[in-house]
Chains A and B, each alone.
Chain A
C-alpha cells in the first residue's frame, strides 16, 4: 500500500508540474500584451508600460520567467496581482497568497457541507432506489434524479435565490454567516453531483446486492437495512467517493457561479473578479492551486479505496 501511494503521489506531482508548464507556457504564447491590456482604451506612457512589464516579470526570456515563477511558487511567494486601477508605476495589486489566504476558508466552509451532502444524501437515496427499484418509489427517485440533472447550476442558483427571497423568506439569499445562510448555496452546489451519485448508487448497489457475500449475510438473518446500509455500503462507498472526486472540477466552477450570485466572498468570487479583470498572476495561481487540490483529492480517494475494500490490495 505504501508503495502504491508513493507511486500515486509521484505521478500526481509530475502531473501538477506538467500543468504549470503548459499553463504558464500557454499564457506566454497567447498573442497580446497583458500589461497593455490593463489600460484598455487609455494610452499609457511607454515608460510606465516598460516599468510595469519589469515589475510583473514579462521582459526576461520565457524559460527564465518560468523557472523563477516555479521557485517562488514553491517557496510561497505567489507574486502580486494586477492593480485594480492604475495610478503609478509602483502600483501593484495585493499579493496573490494574501488574497487566497483570506478567501480560501470561506470556500472551505462551503465545500465541506457540499461534499457531505453529495455523499450522504446521494448514498442514502441511491440505496432506497436500489432496494425499491421494482416499485413506484424507486422509479420516482430515478425519474426525479434524471430530471434534476438537467438543471445547470447557473439556472438553479437563480431559481433558488428568487424562490426563497420572493415567496418563502425562510433563509437568507445572500452572504454566508449563520447556518440558514448555507441552505441555498449548498443546495445549488450539491444537487447535480448528488443526482449522479443517486443514479450510480442505484445501479452499483444492485450489482453488489447480487454478490455471494451479501446472500450469505441475508441467509444469516441480518435485516435488510443493515445488509444494505452496512455490508453493501462498505464496498460501494469508495466508488461513490471516486465519482464525487471526479466531479470536483464541476464543483469548483459551480463555486464561481454560486459565490457570485449569492454574494459570498470566497475563492469563487476571487476567480470571477480575476477572470473579469484579466488578472493574469491571480488566474495563474488559482489554476495551479485548483489543480493541486483536485490531484490531492484523487490520491485521497484512491487511498480510501484501498482502506475500505481489501480486495483491491491483492491486485496491486
Chain B
C-alpha cells in the first residue's frame, strides 16, 4: 500500500532510459573511433570543391575550405563529448563533495559557500566563461572544461545540499545516529545512496546544458580553438552561407541530437524512479 492508501505507482518493466543511453553510446563510438564510421582524412581538403552539396562518398558535402563535412562532424563528436563528460564528471565530484558537507554540517561553511554561489550565479554562466576565455590563448579541451567547472558548480552543489538536508532529518538517518554511527558513515552509507537518483537526474540534464554551452562558446570564438574540430566552430564559420547551402547545418543536427539524448536521459531517469501516476 502506498502513502495515502493508494497502490504505489508501478515501475515500468522496460526502462525507457535505455533508449537515450543507446544514442549516447553511438555518439561515443563516433567520438572514440571516427574511422569505424568511415570518416576520411580530416585535412584532405580541396578548395575546388568548396561548399559542394552531399554526393556519393561524401554524405554531408563539403565546407567552405572544401573539406569533407562527414569527417568533420564525426571528429566534432569527440570534442563535444570529451568536454561534456569531463565537465559533467568534475562538476558531479565537486557538487557531491561540497554539497554533502555543507548540507550535512551547515554552519558558517554553509553560509560562506551559499554566498559564494550567489555571486557565481549572479553572472550568467556563458557570459562569465566567455569573458574568462577571451584572455586564454591556448583553448583546448582542458581549459574550456575547467572554466565551465569553476563557473558552473553552484547549481549541482545546491541540488546535493538540498537532498542531503532533506534526508538527514529522516528517521533512518536518526536511527543510524542513535546506533552510534559516525557522521561520515551516515553520509556515505545512508544518505548519499538515497540521494543518488535525484542527483543523477540533475547530472544528465546538466550535461545537456554543457554540450550546448561548449558549442555556444566555440561559436562565439572563445571556446575550443583551431586545430580542434567542433560543431560550434563549424556553425560559426557558415554564418552568412547557411541560406544557400543547407547541408552546412548538419553539425546543428548532431548537436541537437546529442543535447536531446541527455535531456531524454534525465527525463526518463526521473520517470523511472519517481513515477507520477
Contacts and interface: CB of A to CB of B under 8 A. Distances in A.
Contact of A154 (B131, B215, B221, B276): B215
Instruction: Report whether over half of chain B's contact residues are helix, strand or loop; otherwise say mixed.
Output: helix
B128 interface: yes
B94 to A, nearest CB: 18
A257 B255 CA distance: 15
* Among B135, B249, B260, residue most surrounded by chain A Cβ atoms (within 10 Å): B135
A217 interface: no
Nearest to B123: A291
B132 interface: yes
Interface stretch (A59-67, A90-98, A246-254): A246-254
Given A275-B130, A276-B221, A287-B127, A154 B118 contact: no
B35 interface: no
Interface in B197-215: 208, 211-212, 215
A283 B127 CA distance: 9
Contacts of A146: 263-264, 267
B239 interface: yes
Interface in B215-271: 215-216, 219-222, 232, 235, 239, 242-243, 246, 249, 252-253, 255-257, 259-264, 267
B219 A154 contact: yes
A15 B121 CA distance: 10
B126 interface: yes
A32 B257 CA distance: 39
Given A15-B119, A249-B125, A276-B221, A32 B135 contact: yes
B48 interface: no
A131 to B, nearest CB: 14
A32 B124 CA distance: 24
A16 B122 contact: yes
B182 interface: no
A231 interface: no
Interface string B99-133: 00000000000000001001101111111101110
Given A15-B122, A294-B122, A275 B221 contact: yes
Contacts of A206: 276
Chain B's interface size range is 35 or more
B131 A287 contact: yes
A165 B259 CA distance: 26
A295 B122 CA distance: 6
Contact of B252 (A32, A159, A203): A159
A257 B219 contact: yes
Contacts of B221: 275-276
B277 interface: yes
Contacts of B130: 271, 275
A152 B256 contact: yes
B277 A134 contact: yes
B33 interface: no
Interface in A284-308: 286-287, 290-291, 294-295
A218 interface: no
B255 A154 contact: yes
Contacts of B260: 147, 149-151
B194 interface: no
A252 B129 CA distance: 13
B65 interface: no
Nearest to A298: B122
B124 A153 contact: no
Interface string A253-275: 10011001100000000011001
Contacts of B235: 154-155, 158
Contact of B259 (A152, A261, A275, A283): A152
A173 B221 CA distance: 23
A31 B261 CA distance: 38
B127 A154 contact: no
A276 B219 CA distance: 11
Interface stretch (A18-26, A46-54, A108-116, A233-241): A18-26
B124 A294 contact: yes
Given A32-B137, A146-B263, A152-B259, 17 more contacts: A15-B122, A26-B132, A27-B131, A149-B260, A151-B259, A154-B255, A155-B252, A159-B249, A165-B243, A249-B123, A260-B239, A261-B239, A271-B127, A278-B135, A287-B128, A290-B123, A294-B124
6 contacts: A146-B263, A150-B263, A158-B252, A249-B123, A272-B220, A275-B221
- The 6 tightest CB contacts between A and B, nearest first, are A150-B260, A249-B124, A155-B252, A152-B212, A253-B126, A30-B135
Interface of A: 11, 15-16, 18-19, 22-23, 26-27, 30-32, 34, 133-134, 146-147, 149-155, 158-159, 161-162, 165-166, 173, 203, 206, 248-250, 252-253, 256-257, 260-261, 271-272, 275-276, 278, 283, 286-287, 290-291, 294-295
